[in-house]
Amino acid sequence: MEREHKKEVAFEGRLVMLGFGCIGQGVLPLLLRHIALRPEQILVIKPHEAGLEVARDCGVKTLVARLDPDNLWEVLGPRLGRGDFLLNLSVHVGSVELIALARERGALYLDTCIEPWAGAHVDVMSPPAHRTNYALREAALALRSPARNGPTAVLTHGANPGLVSHFVKQALLDIAAATGAAAPSPATREGWARLSQSLGVRTIHIAERDTQVGTQRKAPGEFVNTWSVDAFVGEGTQPAELGWGSHERHFPADGARHAAGSRAAIYLDRPGAGTRVRSWTPLTGAQHGFLITHAESISIADHLTLGDPASPEYRPTVHYAYHPCDDALLSLHELAGRSWRQQDAARVLKDEIVSGTDELGVLLMGHARGAYWYGSQLSIEQARRLCPHNNATSLQVAAAVMAGVVWALKNPARDIVEPDDLPHHELLRLCRPYLGDVVGVFSDWTPLVGRGWPFAEDIDASDAWQFKNFRVV
């Protein structure tokens, strides 16, 4: 019998969950554990039957329906009202339209990423700048009400984006304490930026290594992953994006800036799944990761900007450096060889996983101690003990979704917010029981380690923290 868990908040409205893949199935038990609500208050909507037995076994109502721009209001309008909650865990359903619908109906909202409609990621007729997470973020933030007191809509609050923004704040406090610069936790956006600047943080990686392995290995023509295949292929085929730091001296030859908006990020004229960077995690050490576009690369850089956004006094370079599980790595290699046309077969590893860890954290570099990684080291064995229907990857996401929903229910009139706007201590408290080993590790690693002869490369040896030194060409 499952032990009793503290109910963080009571909820009497309707909770409509869009999508019920590996993340939705992993989130449901956490919502029922930590929120005082009845299963019959929840409706799961999914375009096909697969996995819905998990919801029905919990007493949750289900509806099989494929959402598109033409039927969005017909399906969701009657099912959402003031004080209800729209939890968007779907893929290829336009998030901006969902946010607008929820706000018009007076419902709360949370998603794990800002999704375009199906096909928009790879629409070759659309300019690359229009297919970026930067453009999607700007469109979502434009829905904010002038008084900033509309129904709460929490954008991009999964593991990453989401949880990692809270990791960054805790890492900054840890570095301050370790370098003798300890100060109270900043209360404002500018305060966090000033702290990061004073510590000398130049570059931040969301540095992740997934080592989970299943009993059945990848077959030719199959994409295997530890979380949504469609979502990973979608973001992997978007242009690579990164927050662009004020210390950078070498603008990428294939890089481009945005003409409007926060100006916090740039994009590369190549897909993220075709762009590799050097990075580091404590269990693995030095590794090559993929510079996959993620909303946190933009929002963290934006929130840590000081001065004119177009020519800032201070801003760190921020990007994702992702080494997926070995079968997903093989799948990406095959995908690239197919000219980015997705394989016909897809499989998400969960019950068949026999070993491995998802090591997800943030790597802050350039300060007095060199580099500092802070984050979650969650093994498959730990994940299975902590919550059913999860692997290590999905539980890191599911915990952050649960925490974001709890926060939104406690703060129902905070308008549109990003993870960087939320109180990191409170969100980490809710997530920490599901993150396995949460550790902070200092390192003397730099992207220049081992870069001498016989590998004659174009590097900037005078400043290790230049993006050109991280990029693998």
pLDDT on residue 455: 60
pLDDT tens-place string over residues 433-448:
999 999 999 999 999 9
Helix (H/G/I), strand (E/B), else coil: 340: coil
pTM exceeds 0.85 for this model: yes
Q: Which two tokens stand for residue 379?
A: 């093994």
pLDDT on residue 123: 72
pLDDT on residue 223: 98
Alpha carbon of 261 to those of 100, 138, 139, 223: distances in Å?
Answer: 20, 7, 10, 35
In the predicted model, what is the mean pLDDT of residues 136-144?
Answer: 98
In 35-123, which ranges are continuous DSSP H helix? Answer: 52-57, 72-76, 95-105
CATH class of 163-396+427-472: alpha beta
* C-alpha of 297 from chain center: 9
Least confident of 72-81, 113-122, 345-354: 113-122
pLDDT tens-place string over residues 219-276:
999 999 999 999 999 999 999 999 999 999 999 999 999 999 999 999 999 999 999 9
List CB contacts of 57: < 8 A, sequence separation 6 or more. Answer: none
pLDDT tens-place string over residues 51-67:
999 999 999 999 999 99
Ranges of each domain in the chain: 9-154, 163-396+427-472
What angle is formed at CA 336 by the lines to CA 48 and CA 332, rounded to 5 degrees? Answer: 60
Does the domain at 9-154 match CATH 3.40.50.720? Answer given as yes
Q: At residue 1, does pLDDT exceed 70?
A: no
Q: At residue 124, does pLDDT exceed 90?
A: no
pLDDT tens-place string over residues 268-312:
999 999 999 999 999 999 999 999 999 999 999 999 999 999 999
Alpha carbon of 436 to those of 1, 169, 285: distances in Å?
Answer: 21, 19, 19
